[in-house]
């Protein structure tokens, strides 16, 4: 569906500056086009099956197509997991190496497809190995190590991960609900709030000790914003009442200001902790008779 252009200089444009880009995944996802090509190629075994004799060949080719398509889907999920791992300063490696699994499935699919059209199982296995190798060359391996986890309390990081996962569900529900309002400006405002929220997520991920301070925003406030968005979308879609829209935008403004203030508080707390550590280190150097640069 076509969307009207909106911006700072449009007639109904928002005069507030746009939010800084969020670190969450945004399309286009790197490698997405290549996985789409793999999905398209999975149709070839089905097409060639009709030019071969026997029900067995038909069944094997259909199975090959399904395996190839599944490999492309798994690879795309692996790319998403890698992008999420890259975007975060502190991250665990993906629990399942999806890109490697996608390479295995691609090799298996090519093996099944080739063994019916060429010289049997051995030739199919060779083609499958080559296909798996080319897949790994094109997409690479999954992240195999944790990042930024040295000296980090794993219990705290697990709590943060669970809390942010729940908060992301609230944000996704907000973005889905506002679409029912069929209002471009409302969608833009929700997107800006989502960006602000994800900036705070990154601050909490950088220092898991901040989870308790940010818990209300991660849970209660975002849940309330989700419910308010759903009610606004339904009411505004039915009435197109500008007062309803104004009141909803005021709520989003308050939520956004609150998140900005909380994020600044978290950053100030981190700076205070750093200053304390620096002073303690300087005192120790002075006691040992070493220069401190003062």
> What distance in Å separates the CA atoms of residue 29 and residue 262, rounded to the nearest whole number?
30
Which strand (E) or helix (H) includes residue 36? helix 32-41
Averaged confidence pLDDT in the chain? 77
- Of 82, 115, 139, the residue that ends a domain is 139
Neighbours of 120 (CB within 10 A): 10
Any bridge partners for residue 147, and if so which?
91
Residue that wins the pLDDT comparison between 36 and 116: 36
> What distance in Å separates the CA atoms of residue 260 and residue 217, rounded to the nearest whole number?
11
> What distance in Å separates the CA atoms of residue 68 and residue 264, rounded to the nearest whole number?
48
Give me 54's structure tokens: 């026997």
145 within a domain of the structure (yes/no): no
> What distance in Å separates the CA atoms of residue 199 and residue 19, rounded to the nearest whole number?
10
> What distance in Å separates the CA atoms of residue 109 and residue 45, rounded to the nearest whole number?
9
- 92-101 per-position pLDDT tens digit: 788 889 999 9
44 within a domain of the structure (yes/no): yes
Q: Are residues 134 and 164 in the same domain?
A: no
Residue that wins the pLDDT comparison between 253 and 267: 253
Q: Are residues 199 and 75 in the same domain?
A: no
pLDDT band of 1, cuts 50, 70, 90: very low
Query: Do 49 and 58 contact (CB within 8 A), yes or no?
Result: yes
- Of 139, 164, 194, the residue that ends a domain is 139
* Helix axes 222-239 and 154-178, enclosed angle (nearest 10): 10
> What distance in Å separates the CA atoms of residue 44 and residue 163, rounded to the nearest whole number?
44
* Domain span including residue 267: 154-287
Give me 262's structure tokens: 């909380």
Q: Are residues 133 and 229 in the same domain?
A: no
Q: Are residues 191 and 125 in the same domain?
A: no
Q: Are residues 180 and 128 in the same domain?
A: no
173 within a domain of the structure (yes/no): yes
294 within a domain of the structure (yes/no): no
Q: Are residues 282 and 174 in the same domain?
A: yes
Q: Which pLDDT score is estimated for 128?
A: 92
Q: Are residues 55 and 83 in the same domain?
A: yes
pLDDT higher than threshold 80 for residue 50: no
Q: Which pLDDT score is estimated for 47?
A: 83
Looking at residue 88, what DSSP letter applies? Answer: -
Nearest alpha carbon to residue 74 among 43, 37, 95, 100: 100
Q: Are residues 135 and 173 in the same domain?
A: no
Residues 6+ apart with CB under 8 A from 163: 204, 211, 215, 218, 219
What is the number of domains present in the chain? Answer: 2
Lowest mean pLDDT among 54-68, 118-132, 138-152, 256-270: 256-270
Residues 6+ apart with CB under 8 A from 15: 8
Q: Are residues 122 and 165 in the same domain?
A: no
What does pTM read for this prediction? 0.57
Q: Are residues 49 and 108 in the same domain?
A: yes
239 within a domain of the structure (yes/no): yes
Give me 237's structure tokens: 């879609």
Residues 6+ apart with CB under 8 A from 159: 208, 211
Q: Are residues 121 and 174 in the same domain?
A: no
- 177-207 per-position pLDDT tens digit: 999 999 999 999 999 989 888 887 777 776 6
- 16-32 per-position pLDDT tens digit: 444 443 344 445 566 77
195 within a domain of the structure (yes/no): yes
11 within a domain of the structure (yes/no): no
Q: Are residues 164 and 130 in the same domain?
A: no
2 within a domain of the structure (yes/no): no
């Amino acid at each position: 569906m076509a969307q009207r252009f909106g911006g700072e200089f449009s007639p109904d444009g928002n005069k507030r500056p746009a939010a800084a880009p969020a670190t969450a995944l945004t399309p286009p996802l790197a490698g997405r086009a290549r996985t789409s090509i793999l999905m398209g190629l999975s149709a070839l075994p089905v097409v060639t099956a009709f030019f071969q004799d026997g029900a067995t060949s038909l069944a094997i080719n259909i199975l090959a197509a399904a395996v190839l398509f599944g490999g492309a889907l798994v690879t795309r999920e692996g790319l998403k997991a890698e992008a999420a791992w890259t975007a975060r300063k502190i991250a665990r490696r993906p629990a399942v190496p999806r890109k490697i699994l996608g390479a295995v499935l691609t090799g298996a699919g090519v093996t099944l497809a080739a063994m019916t059209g060429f010289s049997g199982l051995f030739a199919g296995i060779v083609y499958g190995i080559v296909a798996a190798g080319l897949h790994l060359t094109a997409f690479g391996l999954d992240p195999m190590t944790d990042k930024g986890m040295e000296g980090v309390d794993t219990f705290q990081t697990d709590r943060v991960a669970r809390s942010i996962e729940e908060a992301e569900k609230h944000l996704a529900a907000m973005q889905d609900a506002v679409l029912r309002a069929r209002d471009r400006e409302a969608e833009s405002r929700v997107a800006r709030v989502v960006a602000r929220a994800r900036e705070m997520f990154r601050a909490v991920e950088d220092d898991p000790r901040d989870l308790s301070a940010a818990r209300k925003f991660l849970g209660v406030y975002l849940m309330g914003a989700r419910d308010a968005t759903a009610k606004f979308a339904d009411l505004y879609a039915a009435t197109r009442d500008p007062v309803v829209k104004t009141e909803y935008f005021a709520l989003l403004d308050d939520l956004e200001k609150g998140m900005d203030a909380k994020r600044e508080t978290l950053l100030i707390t981190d700076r205070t902790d750093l200053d304390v550590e620096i002073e303690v280190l300087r005192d120790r150097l002075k006691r040992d008779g070493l220069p401190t640069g003062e």
